[in-house]
Amino acid sequence: MAEDTKDTIYIDVDDEITTVIDKVSESKKKLVALVLPKRAAVFQSIVNMKLLKRKSDEAKKNLVIVTTEASLLPLAGAVGIHVAKTLSSKPEIPAAPVIEHEMVEAAEEEGIPEISTEPNEAEEMKKEAQKEITKSADKAKSKIPTNDLETIELDNSEEAPTDTAMPAVAKAEAKKKAKKDKSLKIPNFNKFRLWALLGGGGLILIVILWILLFNVWPHATIDIKTNAQNVNANLSFNLSTNASGVNTNTNTVRAKQVSESKTYTATVNATGQQNNGQKASGTVSMQAIECNTISAPSDVPAGTGITVNNNTYITQADTSFPSLPNGRHGSNCLVYDANNSTSITAQNGGSSYNTSDNNTTFNVPGRSDVTATGGASGGTDNITTVVSQADINNAENKITQDTAGAKSDLTNQLNQANYYPLNSTFNAGTPNISPNATAGTVANSVTVTETVGYSMYGVIKTDLVTLLNNNIKSQVNGNQSILNNGLSNASYTAGSNPTNLTLVTTAIVGPNINTTVLKNQITGQKVGQIESIVKSNPDVSSVTIKLSPFYVSKAPSPSKITINIAKPTNNPNATTN
How far CA 48 is from CA of 23, 250, 302, 576, in Å, comes to 15, 104, 141, 75
- CA triple 265-267-270, angle to 5 deg: 150
Ordered mean pLDDT values, 10 residues apiece, the chain (577 residues)? 70 86 86 86 85 87 86 85 86 71 46 41 52 53 43 43 43 52 62 87 92 88 88 94 94 96 95 92 94 85 95 96 85 89 95 94 93 95 93 93 94 96 92 93 94 96 95 83 90 89 92 86 91 85 90 90 79 46
Longest dimension (CA), the chain: 189
Q: Can you spell out the DSSP letters for 239-251?
A: EESS-SS-BTTTT
The predicted pLDDT at position 314 comes to 97
Answer yes or no: do 56 and 160 share one domain: yes
Q: At what angle do helices 101-109 and 119-142 cross, to 10 degrees?
A: 60
User: Is 299 exposed, middle or buried, given 0-12, 13-18 or 19+ CB atoms closer than 10 A?
Assistant: middle
Tell me the CA end-to-end span of the chain in Å, nearest whole number.
91
Q: Give the phi and the psi of residue 311 in degrees, each rounded to 5.
A: -105, 140
Answer yes or no: do 23 and 164 share one domain: yes
- The CA dihedral of 233, 234, 240, 245, to the nearest 10 degrees, is -30
The predicted pLDDT at position 345 comes to 97
479 within domain boundaries: no
Residue at 19: amino acid letter: T
487 within domain boundaries: no
Residue at 345: amino acid letter: T
Long-range contacts for 64-70 (Cβ within 8 Å, ≥24 apart)? 64/31, 64/32, 64/33, 64/34, 64/91, 64/152, 64/154, 65/33, 65/34, 65/36, 66/33, 66/34, 66/35, 66/36, 67/35, 67/36, 67/40, 67/43, 69/36, 69/38, 69/39, 69/40
Answer yes or no: do 191 and 145 share one domain: no
Cis peptide bond upstream of 556, omega within 30: no
> For residues 261 and 454, what is the distance between their CA atoms, to the nearest angstrom?
6
Answer yes or no: do 88 and 192 share one domain: no
Answer yes or no: do 77 and 193 share one domain: no
For residue 300, which of 315, 290, 312 has the smallest C-alpha distance? 315
Q: How far is CA 150 from the centre of its chain?
A: 81
234 within domain boundaries: no
Answer yes or no: do 7 and 146 share one domain: yes
> For residues 497 and 57, what is the distance between their CA atoms, to the nearest angstrom?
115
Q: Which of 364, 381, 398 is the last residue of a domain?
A: 381
- Residue 303, by phi and psi: left (phi above 0), alpha (psi -120 to 50) or beta? left
489 within domain boundaries: no
Answer yes or no: do 25 and 123 share one domain: yes
453 within domain boundaries: yes
Inter-residue contact 283 to 355 (CB < 8 Å) = no
Residue 115 burial (CB count, 10 A): 19
Cβ neighbours of residue 315 under 8 Å, at least 6 residues apart?
284, 300, 301, 302, 303, 304, 305, 306, 342, 343, 344
Helical (H) or strand (E) element with 159: none
For residue 453, which of 479, 417, 429 has the smallest C-alpha distance? 429
Answer yes or no: do 343 and 398 share one domain: no
Domain of residue 304: give its range.
Answer: 277-381
> For residues 110 and 47, what is the distance between their CA atoms, to the nearest angstrom?
11
- What 8-state DSSP symbol labels residue 188? -
Count helices and strands (H / E) in the chain: 12, 26
Three-class secondary structure of residue 88 per DSSP? coil
Strand partners, 329: 333
Answer yes or no: do 353 and 425 share one domain: no
> For residues 362 and 309, what is the distance between their CA atoms, to the nearest angstrom?
9
β-bridge pairing 279-291 and 370-377: antiparallel
> For residues 11 and 328, what is the distance between their CA atoms, to the nearest angstrom?
153
253 within domain boundaries: no
The predicted pLDDT at position 550 comes to 87
Q: Which of 441, 459, 477 is the last residue of a domain?
A: 459
The predicted pLDDT at position 124 comes to 56
User: Is 498 exposed, middle or buried, given 0-12, 13-18 or 19+ CB atoms closer than 10 A?
Assistant: middle
Cβ neighbours of residue 575 under 8 Å, at least 6 residues apart?
484, 564, 565, 567
The predicted pLDDT at position 505 comes to 96
Answer yes or no: do 414 and 527 share one domain: no
Answer yes or no: do 101 and 44 share one domain: yes
The predicted pLDDT at position 130 comes to 56
246 within domain boundaries: no
How many Cα atoms sit within 13 Å of 413 on the Cβ side?
18
How many structural domains is the chain composed of? 5
500 within domain boundaries: no
Q: Which of 381, 402, 421 is the last residue of a domain?
A: 381
The predicted pLDDT at position 398 comes to 93
Answer yes or no: do 14 and 118 share one domain: yes
